[in-house]
Structure 1
Amino acid sequence: MDCVFCALIQADSARWVARGPVALAFAPLTPIAPGHALVVPASHFADLFDTPPEVLAETMALVRRVADAMRSALGADGVNVLNASGPGSEQSVPHLHFHVIPRWQDDGFSTWPTGRSQRRLQDDPIARLASAVAG
């Protein structure tokens, strides 16, 4: 199997946080914080653009449940939810996934970008985006 997440799901070889028919959560091999979890659809979808809306909704509902559990069970002050979708995004595994990372005020790291994009667009990118969303 080419997809590492599909192979992991099929082999049942993960440290599971939650398992459902549509979405699953498990511990990554190299967590960046205690309790860091990955939330994925149970079926293979490459990225956000490939995932049907109903599967995306179920997956995001599990992201929320995992985030709530991080606050209640781990005492996290907050969470970061990270996703990369598509070839220009540095997506490392071509299976839709969300990193849910518990955060504490004194954890000593940042998940925010430290620079700014070098890409420049003509015209007003927000107006173009609003037009595309509207119709």
Structure 2
Amino acid sequence: MGGMSPEPCVFCNIVRGDAPAKWVAREEHAAAFFTLPESALAPGHTLVVTRSHVVGVQDASENDLATAMSLVGRISRAMTAALGATGVNVLNASGPGSEQSVHHLHLHVVPRWQGDGFTTWPVERSGMTVPVDPHEALSAAMH
């Protein structure tokens, strides 16, 4: 897997079959498996990972992003059909300032139900300010 750091990557180990997982799907460019039971935010909480080792969305190829999100969509529909979920939260942290805990691109797909007592929407706001107009800077960077 390209870009491997000197430290072993737990998700690369899982994808290679060197570590156990409860598989949900294995595809050419992405794979999905259950999170560890003690980390599950809800029944069916699934991780979607890229098969290639990249740290976050900023490093991923367009193909890796597209195939991972396609798998997220299919898993979300399966959560509705198989678990009766009425919604999902898709969570990702990418990069050092994001609280990313495993440095391999992964998306959490968390099934949700009305009144499940769980919230994933941030209640705090960032205190960060930037020295430029964010809209102008982002628009210019996209061209």
Tell me what 2:24 maps to: 17
Alignment of 1:1-135 (within 5 A): 2-10=8-16, 11=18, 13-29=20-36, 30-133=39-142, 135=143
* Structure 1: stretches of 5+ with no match in the other structure: none
**DSSP-derived class of the 1:51 partner:** coil
For residues 77 and 20 of structure 2, the distance between their equivalents in structure 1, rounded to whole angstroms, comes to 25
Aligned length: 134
Give percent identity, aligned residues only: 54
Counterparts of 1:2 and 1:123 in 2: how far apart (Å)? 39
Q: CA deviation at 1:126?
A: 1.6
**CA distances 1:75-99 after superposition (whole Å, capped 9, x unpaired):** 1111000111111111100000000
When structure 1 is superposed on structure 2, of 30-39 and 121-130 the one drifting more is 121-130
Q: Distance in 2 between matches of 1:132 and 1:47?
A: 19
Q: Over the residues paired in the alignment, what is the CA RMSD in angstroms?
A: 1.2
Tell me how far 1:12 sits from its aligned partner: 5.2
Q: What CA distance in whole angstroms lies between the structure 2 residues aligned with 1:80 and 1:106?
A: 14
Aligned residue type for 1:59? A
